[in-house]
């Protein structure tokens, strides 16, 4: 019996039994801490709601994009019209995003986003009706692409300016990361659903699903609470745009970054846009192959996001020492003519000191990888202002 009371014997029997559970508990605790750190932006109710709405909306955008690009080339058998469709979708973003950034500083950003979603939803349902009745012509698609681009040119800047108001400044980098993740996640799910809907139900259902997806982001915009109050100003729109451009030029490192993002979008996005031509003329395959190429493109974008980027606030170095999260370039991750290569600038430095809210003008360079718009967060974050006006998103 004496050996049962021996401290040495007790340590030899009890500790091994406890060491294994302790190790498991420690592993679980570290895993929970790690996950909380990665997804810390989801602590904020409004950001969670907006993220879910934007994700659903962006998925719908890629469902339509799958069908639209394939059908334009299928109807015309001419790559020119496919390129023209892509160009007309992005032209309004290039022309009006600067103005949209100024308006996002002066108007209710939530209402701007809502009107943007209404325009895009109506265009999606119109396309669905045209395909369902077999009355569609190429000019219908081209015209509606331009109208969608107009909506995104104002919705994208508003979304970029709204995002920093949903989280604390120390979690802004993580929120941008999560936005990029949702965009590229939609790049996987969207083409998969698009290919399934196109094969089983027909092209009209691809556009219908996209129209329905806008309901999610509209509901999320109605539910969230936005604290930003647009200040009154006598400054002209042109002067505000000039000051926004001057801010980019004077801020160290921003001008080369914007130029790099612009070139990436200009020369890189066309490859994805012309995949229907490559699939049909080079591989002699159908929409299934096109779907696979789009899905793997999205999967690669997600895997390319380093864990460090998800957890390290200092990734955005120019945020250090700044009390205004608006003073950054928000680059959305993904592929949409709306985040996702438009430059969203605007406002004046004096106003930023009066209003303790991020300004669309001081920062919002939405670079396609943006969400909705709603598509601007990494160099990988590209193409997205079509889907981030969609709140990329969309």
> In the chain, what are the domains?
40-384 (1.20.1250.20)
pLDDT at position 26 is 77
pLDDT at position 336 is 38
Q: Are 176 and 122 in contact (CB under 8 A)?
A: no
Q: How far is CA 121 from CA 35, 64, 133, 182, 272, in A?
A: 35, 11, 19, 20, 24
Say yes or no to pLDDT of 258 above 50: yes
pLDDT at position 38 is 82
In three-state secondary structure terms, 293 is helix
Say yes or no to pLDDT of 156 above 60: yes
* Whole-angstrom distance, CA of residue 172 vs CA of residue 44: 11
Say yes or no to pLDDT of 200 above 80: yes
Name residues whose C-beta falls within 8 Å of residue 92's C-beta, 6 or more positions apart in sequence: 146, 149, 150, 152, 153
Say yes or no to pLDDT of 262 above 60: yes
Percentage of the chain surpassing pLDDT 70?
Answer: 70
If you ran DSSP here, which 8-state letter would residue 347 be given?
A: -
Which one is predicted more confidently, 72 or 390?
72
Q: Which two tokens stand for residue 23?
A: 């190790």
pLDDT at position 116 is 95
Please spell the DSSP secondary structure of 161-229, one letter per residue. HHGGGSS-GGGHHHHHHHHHHHHHHHHHHHHHHHHHHHHHT-HHHHHHHHHHHHHHHHHHHHHS-----
* Whole-angstrom distance, CA of residue 121 vs CA of residue 126: 9
Say yes or no to pLDDT of 369 above 70: no
Say yes or no to pLDDT of 382 above 50: no
pLDDT at position 308 is 44
pLDDT at position 314 is 45
pLDDT at position 181 is 87
Q: Which two tokens stand for residue 64?
A: 């339509």
* Whole-angstrom distance, CA of residue 392 vs CA of residue 375: 4
296's enclosing H/E stretch is: helix 287-303
* Whole-angstrom distance, CA of residue 151 vs CA of residue 93: 9
* Mean of pLDDT over the chain: 75
Which one is predicted more confidently, 315 or 269?
269
Q: Are 344 and 156 in contact (CB under 8 A)?
A: yes
Say yes or no to pLDDT of 252 above 60: yes
Q: What is the mean pLDDT of residues 367-386?
A: 38
157-161, 163-167, 210-214, 365-369: range with highest mean pLDDT: 210-214
pLDDT at position 391 is 57
Residue 202 main-chain phi, psi, to 5 deg = 110, 165
If you ran DSSP here, which 8-state letter would residue 342 be given?
A: E
> Which range (22-26, 141-145, 181-185, 296-300) has the least confidence?
22-26
Which one is predicted more confidently, 320 or 81?
81
Q: What is the mean pLDDT of residues 194-210?
A: 93
pLDDT at position 375 is 38
* Whole-angstrom distance, CA of residue 165 vs CA of residue 184: 23
Say yes or no to pLDDT of 140 above 60: yes
pLDDT at position 37 is 79
How would residue 310 be classed by pLDDT, with cut points 50, 70 and 90?
very low
How would residue 390 be classed by pLDDT, with cut points 50, 70 and 90?
low
Residue 78 main-chain phi, psi, to 5 deg = -130, 115
Say yes or no to pLDDT of 137 above 70: yes
Percentage of the chain surpassing pLDDT 90?
Answer: 39
Say yes or no to pLDDT of 247 above 90: no
Say yes or no to pLDDT of 249 above 80: yes
* Whole-angstrom distance, CA of residue 276 vs CA of residue 22: 55
Radius of gyration of the chain (CA): 24
């Amino acid at each position: 019996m004496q050996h049962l009371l021996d401290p040495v014997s007790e340590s030899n029997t009890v500790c091994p039994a406890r060491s294994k559970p302790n190790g498991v508990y420690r592993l679980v605790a570290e895993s929970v801490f790690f996950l909380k750190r990665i997804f810390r932006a989801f602590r904020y109710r409004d950001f969670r709601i907006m993220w879910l709405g934007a994700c659903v909306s962006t998925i719908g955008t890629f469902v339509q994009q799958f069908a639209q690009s394939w059908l334009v080339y299928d109807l015309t058998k001419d790559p020119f019209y496919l390129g023209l469709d892509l160009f007309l979708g992005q032209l309004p973003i290039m022309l009006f995003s600067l103005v949209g950034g100024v308006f996002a500083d002066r108007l209710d950003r939530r209402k701007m986003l809502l009107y943007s979603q209404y325009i895009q939803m109506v265009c999606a349902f119109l396309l669905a009706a045209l395909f369902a009745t077999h009355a569609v012509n190429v000019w219908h698609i081209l015209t509606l692409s331009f109208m969608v681009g107009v909506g995104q040119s104002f919705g994208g800047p508003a979304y970029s300016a709204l995002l920093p108001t949903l989280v604390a400044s120390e979690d802004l980098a993580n929120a941008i990361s999560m936005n990029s993740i949702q965009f590229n996640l939609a790049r996987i799910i969207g083409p998969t659903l698009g290919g399934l809907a196109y094969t089983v139900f027909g092209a009209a259902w691809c556009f219908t699903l996209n129209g329905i997806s806008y309901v999610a982001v509209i509901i999320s915009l109605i539910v969230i609470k936005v604290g930003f109050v647009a200040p009154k100003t006598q400054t002209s729109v042109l002067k505000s745009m000039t000051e926004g451009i001057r801010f980019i030029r004077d801020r160290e490192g921003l001008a080369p970054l914007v130029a790099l993002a612009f070139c990436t979008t200009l020369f890189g996005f066309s490859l994805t846009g012309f995949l229907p031509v490559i699939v049909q003329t080079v591989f002699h395959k159908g929409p299934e192959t096109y779907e696979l190429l789009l899905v793997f493109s999205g999967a690669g974008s997600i895997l390319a996001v380093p864990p460090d980027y998800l957890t390290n606030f200092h990734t955005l170095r120019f945020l250090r020492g700044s009390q205004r999260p608006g003073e950054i370039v928000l680059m959305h991750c993904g592929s949409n003519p709306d985040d996702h290569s438009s430059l969203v600038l605007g406002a004046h430095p004096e106003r930023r000191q009066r209003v303790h809210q991020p300004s669309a003008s001081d920062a919002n360079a939405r670079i396609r990888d943006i969400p909705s718009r709603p598509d601007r967060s990494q160099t990988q974050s590209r193409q997205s202002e079509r889907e981030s006006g969609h709140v990329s998103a969309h």
